[in-house]
Amino acid sequence: MGESSLKAINPVLDIEKIRSDFPVLNRKIHDSPLVYLDTAASAQRPLKVIETVVDFYRNYNANIHRGVHTLSQEATAAYEQSREKIARFINAPSSQEVVFTRGTTESINLVAHSFLRPKLQPGDEILISWMEHHSNIVPWQLLCEETGAVLKVIPMNQHGELEMAALEEMLTERVKLLGIVHVSNALGTINPVEDICTLAGRLGVPVLVDGAQAMPHQSVDVQTLGCDFYCFSGHKMYGPTGIGALWGRSRHLHSMKPYQGGGEMIRHVTFEKSEFNEAPAKFEAGTPNIAGAIGMGAAVDYLRDIGMENVAAYEAGLLAYGTERLAKIDGFRMVGTATKKAGVMSFVLADIHANDVGTLVDLHGVAIRTGHHCAMPVVQFYGLPATARASLGIYNTFSDIDILADALEKVTGMFA
Ligand code: PMP
């Protein structure tokens, strides 16, 4: 398909309207308009989210759940409505299965400590994949050190796709949990989570899905996926930082011990013994990030209004165009060429260090990420010290990709 026909696949979003929702896009960086291609690290926030957070602090700021006064009741209602919005967004059977956390990292640690740790015996196995973010590696390593369990890694091929045959072989009764990233932040690969859950389900192996990068790009239905836990972060999906969620099957949440002790998670306390609340309160000790949770609900509203199918279709067009356009640059090599990919383009440019690439394109107003993307085993797999990564969001345009490509061409020119 030619460039112009790829650009024509743009029927679904009112992109100018969307761009006007993001005030930061009016910024100039080194005298050039900002081209933000770092959504995988953290998305920008639309006015709706910013104003929702400001409205909370201006008009009904109060602690939740405990107060009888009006502000506290309003804050509690907004916090709980947000939980309901998130539950509907991922098609959770009940909002009581949605636990607010600080983000994906905390959600995974919560499952590691409260769900898995009490079950592990020496020799048990935890299965993860080669393309995990550190947050879906390190918590399991720590557990293995403590319990004598063993961490096993499902290999991937050169395209950055999981070796499904190996996964099937490694999936045995010894495996006590399989942790898998839905969309890789370093490669863009979309993993076949539904198939993986079916395979694991046959042996009764619980599956935790790291959904940090899937939530902003596609619709997620935890019931269709068939997983046991789904973890995500507000800031990757156009919401505030410091907030995220864990969805877990109610039977798991019910049987799990609390993660932290404190206020809010208890029903009754004496010095002899405490009785815990039911989930999700059981896992939300202390005053939570109330403004963040309410802001995350606003981000969900924003994405729902646009429609995740539209987001996915629009970004697929951008990705196809970007893949073709960038391939024309001398010395450009895409890292991560899976057939099923979301809007992440990791690459190397000749033998120029990724940090130099990132610093030089910033001079043209282009924000990309460079480094190991908190997925060191991925860059090690390709024998690279680092990659540069342009990642897409709903506000990006074909012109953003052209500007990136022009900037990269200037960089190669400097090193020629
Ligand atoms: N998993 C993936 C795939 C990610 O991209 C990230 C963030 N880069 C995380 C987990 C961790 O998310 P957070 O820092 O919001 O906890």
Of 135, 138, 181, the one to substitute when testing ligand 1's pocket (max ligand atoms within 8 A of C-beta) is 135
Give the C-alpha separation, 186 to 311, whole Å: 20
What confidence score (pLDDT) does residue 5 get?
Answer: 54
Separation of alpha carbons 195 and 203, rounded Å: 13
* Residue 69 exposure: Cα atoms within 13 Å on the Cβ side: 6
CATH topology for the 49-305 domain: Aspartate Aminotransferase; domain 2 (3.40.640)
Does residue 374 have an active-site annotation?
A: yes
Ligand 1: residue of 38, 100, 104 to mutate (most ligand atoms within 8 A of CB) is 104
* CA atoms lying within 13 Å on the CB side of residue 112: 26
Contact 76, 64 (CB under 8 A): yes
Distance between Cα 105 and ligand 1 center (Å): 6
Tokens encoding 327: 């391939």
Mark the ranges of the chain whose per-residue pLDDT is less than 50: 1
CA–centroid distance, 227 to ligand 1, in Å, is 18
Secondary-structure breakdown of the chain: helix, strand, coil percentages, each rounded to the nearest 5: 45, 20, 35
Alpha helices in 203-256 (DSSP H): 222-225, 250-255
Rg for the chain, CA atoms, rounded: 22
d(CA 286, CA 265) in angstroms, rounded, equals 8
State the span(s) of the chain assigned CATH 3.90.1150.10.
Answer: 3-33+307-414
pTM for the full predicted model: 0.96
All CATH 3.40.640.10 domain ranges of the chain, comma separated, are 49-305
Pocket of ligand 1 (CB under 6 A): 103-105, 133, 135, 181, 185, 210, 212-213, 233, 244, 374
Architecture (CATH level 2) of domain 3-33+307-414: Alpha-Beta Complex (3.90)
C-alpha–C-alpha distance, residues 178 and 165, integer Å: 15
pLDDT attached to residue 1:
47
Gap between the Cα atoms of 68 and 223, Å rounded: 36
Structural tokens at position 34: 């900002």
DSSP 8-state code for residue 38:
B
Q: Which residues on adjacent β-strands are paired with residue 32?
A: 29
Among residues 118, 110, 305, 125, the alpha carbon closest in space to that of 210 is found at 110
